[in-house]
Every structure is written in structure tokens, then in C-alpha cells.
Chain A
Amino acid sequence: MSTTSLQAHLETQQRMLPAEAASQSWRRDALASFAARGFPTRREERWHYTDLRPLENGQFPLVPRAPSADTRAVARALLEKQGIDLAGERLVFVDGHLDATLSRFGAVRGLEISTPSAAWDSFSPERATAAIPARVYPLALLNTAFLQQGAFVKVGPANDPRTPLQFVFLAVGDERSAPQPRIIVELAEGAQATIVQHFLDAPGAATGWLNLVTEIVQAAASTLTLYRIQEHGPAHLHTSLLNVRLGRDAALTAGYIERGGRLVRNDIDVMLVEAGARADLFGLTLGSGEQHVDNHICVEHAAARTASTAAFRAIADDSARCVFCAKVIVQPGAQKVDARQASDGLLLSPRAEIDSKPELEIYADDIKCAHGATVGELDEGQLFYLRARGMDGAAARAMLTLAFAQVAVDRIALAPVRARAIAELAARLPEARAGEDTW
């Protein structure tokens, strides 16, 4: 699409914003910046593996219409049937709109949740958006320009991390749209939280694009565990940014389980701002069909004695393509840093592809950095061992594939989320436990 037609599309979309939103100057600035810059192209290094033209050419409506009563009824049924049953607060978005009847929040001590229409100030760029480098993540500009829904969450020391806060994004309606939700979470000093993001599509939903931005600011000694279960339909488009800044001795654990979507690009940007902060990132991608799933990670160690790990696994079947790019930056003076990255890929089909690219940018000398990448097929020796114990070839292959995935799944500490990930695997690998009860 040419610059002028992109500009025309964005202007048309902008006119559909409610008057109150349209008048916000930060929104207009973001729109102008994005229009001038355009969608990232594969000529840019960060976007080399992922072609965003389906997002651009789709000319998606960026201001989704409120869902009809019918759509909301389908959403309710979908949530009841396929939602992850977690106690605690829950915000449910149906085609980009917060559904008040399906959501429940405001009752937990230690969690203060507000939504954009109630508190636009919380979403202004001065608040947190400034932390996102638009240069490297231009889709955040688009999100800023069109964000209307989301949540601003303040987590206090009284919050109980055993009770997770859940965000559910449902795509239900038959009208194409591209919601641009934003979630901002601030953890106070010593606060702890568990957050689950769940993406789910109704079978008849239109092919949509979700462009989610999650910004997290963790004060000293705070702890956050964030899990994502991405179960979009096979045609859905999905882009996400998780931007986290960690203060002294703060800890982040983030686990990504990616199963759905036709084109998925997840960016994780972590800045370890103060000494003692640590981030542990892990993920499992199950790619099949024509799926393209790109996990792009950047961890910046800006202070001494910070630590990070990133361990991502991908299983690519059919013509799927899975990408893992992870960059570690160690800034000058950030001594005693420990940074480890691992990516392991399993190819189940000769047409599947897995790309793994580790990058290190190091400006300090007293540090430990390690990265390892493997891509391969199932191990013949292991297959023979299982067959020599009586498993047939298909069962042995499924068992080993499951075992490969299990390493990532076992890191999910929250039982219902782990169970959901296991159910995903069981659906993908029916032979693995056929006739067996689980252990």
C-alpha cells in the first residue's frame, strides 16, 4: 500500500473515533508519527523474518463497533465452554470492547483497576507510553493512536499472587476489525501479582487482527508472573508488545504458549533498570498448517547484578514457520550480569521452517552471557528405544514430541494454565497418550 493510501485509511479510521478520544493531542501525534513512518517492512532488520503486509493490505477497521447482543451471547457461551476457569478478577474483551457483564473486578484488595473511558489520564503517553521506543516498535504508535479499551492496573502489597488477574480477548463477531487494546500494570514496591492473558476465537468469527500493547512497571522487590495462552483461530492475525521495566530486586516470569493465528508477532522488551532485577522468559510455540509465529525478545541489562533467561521451544509441522530472535544488551557499567538464552526447535515436516537468531550487544566485561540454539528432527535413537519397548512408531513420535514440549509446559506454575497447555498438546498429539491415563 502506498503512503498516501495508508494515510487516507488512517484518517478515515480516525474520524470514527468518539469525539472525546479524537481530540486527545497525544493520539493525533502518534497517528501522525505512524502515518509518516508506515508499517515496518522486511527491509528493517527487526522485521526481517515477518512480513506485515497482511496487516497493512487488510485495511482493517481500527475502531471496532460495539458487539451486538447476539455476539455477546456467543461470547458468553464461548467463555463458559472454553475459558480457563480461574478464580479472581477478570476483564473480558469481546471484539475489543470490555464486556461488563462477563467481567468482574474491583473487589480484590490490593488491585486497583480502571478502564480508559473512566481514566484517560492513566493512558496518556506521559504516564507510561513514553517507555516504549516507537523507533523499534512502531505498532505501539498505532495502538496509541487508536486505543480505546484496556485496563490500568495498580498492584499494591496486599494483592495475593495466588489469585491471578485474567484478561480474556475474544474474537466473536462476523465483522472484520483490529482492536488496539492497552494494558498498563504498575506494581508497587514489594507487590506480587499473577496475570493471565488468554486469546480465544469463536469458530465463526471474522478474520481479525489484534494489536495488543502491555506495559508493566515493576517497583523495587515486586514480583510478577505473566502467562499467555494464545488460541486464536487459524486465520487470525496477532501482534503484541510486552514492555516491562524492572526496579531493584524486582522479578518477572513470563511464559508464552502460542498455538493459534495465521500471522503472529510477539515482541517482548524487558529493561532491567536497577541492580538485582531478574527476568525469566519462556515459551512454547506449536506451529502447523501455514502458521507464522515470530517471538522477538530484547532484554536490556541497564544495571549491575541483573539476570535474565529466555528459553523458547518451537514445534513446526506442515508448512509452519516459527521464528525466535533474542537480543541481550548489557550496558556499560552493568557488571556481574548473567544472561542466558536458549532456543530449541523441533521440525516435524520437511516443509516446516524454524529460524533462530541470538544477538549479544555487550558493553561490560565482568559478565556471563550464554546462548544456545538447536533445531532438529526427532532423535532416531530415542525413537528406537521406545519402539524396542513396544510403542509403535506414531506413538513413539508423539511421545517424544510431547516430551519436547513438556519441558516448557512444566515451567507453568499455575495449575489451571498448565492443564490448559497440556490439553493443547493432547489435542495436537492424540497418539501420545492414547489409552493411557496421565501421570
Chain B
Amino acid sequence: MLKIHDLHVTVGGKAILQGLSLDVPAGEVHALMGPNGSGKSTLAQVLAGREDYEVTAGTIEYLGRDLLALKPEERARAGVFLGFQYPIEIPGVNNAYLLKAALNAQRRANGQEPVDAFEFMRLIRAKMDLMQISKEFLNRSVNVGFSGGEKKRNEILQMLMLEPRLAVLDETDSGLDVDALKIVAAGINSRRGPERSTLLVTHYERLLELVVPDRVHVLVGGRIAKSGDAQLAQELDARGYDWVQNEAVRT
């Protein structure tokens, strides 16, 4: 699904990713962990097409296509979804309108008929129930006046509506209480399937108890320092990141 090879990225002249390689096969959930400043969010933004992040070397292949050649909107329509660490507030654009416009932009790009308001409501109802989001929420401006937990649940709701092939969820667990974390985890688990992949970017292990990943990667200093199975996340939780960093230095 996603093949990243030797990726180098600079932000404002500063090298952040320095030779990152990562494969996320179809149907798998991978977790990308690492200390603050290791470049996790940079990778998430680069995957979504943020233009002020400069890719100086390396390739990203998504479903056999050169992802870096696509504009952000083309990536979204091709099934790449970024769940934002800090979802943006957009006063004056309501949730229903954004969701419907996003869904129809994707459908048109795939040669499908746009959905009408009735069909849209039918599609969204069950997903809102799963995310425990009330109906009034649809008429509120995107993320304006939302609590931290509501913003993250909204990101997951958008993901569920757009049914992306590849979801990159950037710190979707941060700032959530236990109940909200369970809701978010249920949303992520509900999309697991053979044709869908998920990359969870996080630096806590607690989400990974609820969404058990197939692989865990540790990002240190702009490259993958260690990979393993779900056990690795627990080990990181118990021992911190220093030992991985030290191990990386030794090798």
C-alpha cells in the first residue's frame, strides 16, 4: 500500500527526516512511535502533501503511484487521509457541508455520482452513533468551540465517511480521556480490513492497547531506529525511548 524509501525532508532549512524507509502493506495497522521532535508529525504532513515541507530525496509510493507527484487534494481523492494532530477551526463552514463536499469531491474524482443530502444523512447516521456525536453537531462550524476530544472524534468521523485506503492518524490519541479514547479506538478498529491500511502516529502506548498494531516502528533522529510487533510498544512504555536511541547509536 505505502512504500517509503530513503526519505529526506527539510522544514525551514532544517533536516527533519533523514533517510526514513517504511512499508505499510495492505490490510495492516502500523504504529509510528518516537520521542517529541523525532519527525513523526513531519512524516504525516508530508504524506498529506503539505507544501512548505521540502522533500530533498527519497520516494513515496502509494498503490504503485508516485505520491509526491500528487497535490494534497489529489491524494485525498485517491484515498489518503490525514487525521490532524491539531484539527483546524473553520468558522462559517459547517461540518455537514465540509463532509459532503469532501465526500463528493472524492466521488466525482472516482467517476461516481455525488450523493444528495438525503443519501448523505443515511450514510452518516450510523457513523455518528459510533463516534457518539449528536445531530446538532452537523450544523456547527468545523471544530469551532469543540473540546479537544470532540475535535479528535470529528477527525475520525471524517475518516469513516471518506473510507480512505490509507489513514494516517497524527496523535489522534493525545488529549483524550479514557472514554473518548475508547470511542476513537472503536472508530479506528471499525475500518480494519484487507484493503485498508492505517498508520498511527503516537508517542503513548495506551491507544495501542485498544488498537493492536501489526507492526510498531520507532522513529529516532529522522529515521526508523527499530521495528517490531505490538510487544515493542509495551516495551517502550515500560523503558522509555532512551534505550532505542542508545541502541541506534551503537549500530
Contact = CB atoms under 8 A, between A and B. Distances in A.
Interface of A: 379, 381-382, 384-393, 395-396, 399-400, 402-407, 435-437, 439
A390 B76 contact: yes
A29 B75 CA distance: 71
B73 A439 contact: no
A437 B158 CA distance: 19
Counting chain B CB atoms within 10 Å of each CB, the highest count among A384, A389, A436 belongs to: A389
A265 B111 CA distance: 49
A274 to B, nearest CB: 36
Contacts of B90: 382, 385-386, 400, 403
Contacts of A387: 49, 71-73, 76
Q: 7 nearest interchain CB pairs? A: A403-B92, A390-B105, A390-B76, A389-B102, A385-B88, A387-B72, A406-B92
Interface of B: 48-51, 71-73, 75-77, 82, 84, 87-88, 90-94, 96-98, 100-102, 104-106, 108-109, 114, 116-117, 139, 141, 158, 162
A437 B116 contact: yes
Contacts of B141: 403
A217 B87 CA distance: 48
B88 A382 contact: yes
B158 A381 contact: no
A406 B90 CA distance: 12
Contacts of B50: 384
B113 to A, nearest CB: 11
Given A436-B100, A439-B117, A388 B92 contact: no
B93 A400 contact: yes
Given A382-B90, A387-B49, A439 B102 contact: no
A389 B158 contact: yes
A193 B98 CA distance: 37
Given A384-B72, A387-B49, A388-B49, A436 B91 contact: no
Counting chain A CB atoms within 10 Å of each CB, the highest count among B71, B72, B109, B116 belongs to: B72
B94 to A, nearest CB: 6
B48 to A, nearest CB: 5
Interface residues of chain A: helix, strand, loop or mixed (majority): helix
5 contacts: A393-B73, A400-B90, A407-B91, A407-B92, A436-B104
Given A384-B50, A384-B72, A437 B117 contact: yes
Contacts of B109: 390
Contact of A402 (B92, B100, B158): B92
A390 B79 CA distance: 9
Contacts of A392: 71, 73, 105
Counting chain A CB atoms within 10 Å of each CB, the highest count among B48, B71, B104, B105 belongs to: B105
A406 B93 CA distance: 9
Contacts of B92: 402-407
Contacts of B73: 387-388, 390-393, 396
Contacts of A396: 73
B117 A388 contact: no
Nearest to B88: A385
Contact of B162 (A384, A389, A436): A389
B84 A385 contact: yes
Contacts of B117: 437, 439
A403 B48 contact: no
B203 to A, nearest CB: 22
Contact of B106 (A386, A390, A405, A436): A390
A396 B49 CA distance: 15
Contacts of A386: 90, 98
B215 to A, nearest CB: 25
Nearest to A387: B72
Nearest to A407: B92
B49 A390 contact: no
A376 to B, nearest CB: 14
B90 to A, nearest CB: 5
Nearest to A385: B88
A392 B94 CA distance: 18
B116 A391 contact: no
Given A388-B72, A437-B117, 17 more contacts: A382-B90, A384-B88, A386-B90, A387-B71, A387-B72, A387-B73, A390-B109, A390-B162, A391-B101, A395-B105, A399-B93, A403-B141, A404-B92, A435-B108, A436-B101, A439-B97, A439-B117
A297 to B, nearest CB: 23
Given A389-B76, A390-B106, A439 B94 contact: yes
A158 B73 CA distance: 57
A403 B93 contact: yes
A18 to B, nearest CB: 51
B94 A389 contact: no
Contacts of A393: 71, 73
A439 B101 contact: no
Contacts of B158: 389
B171 to A, nearest CB: 16
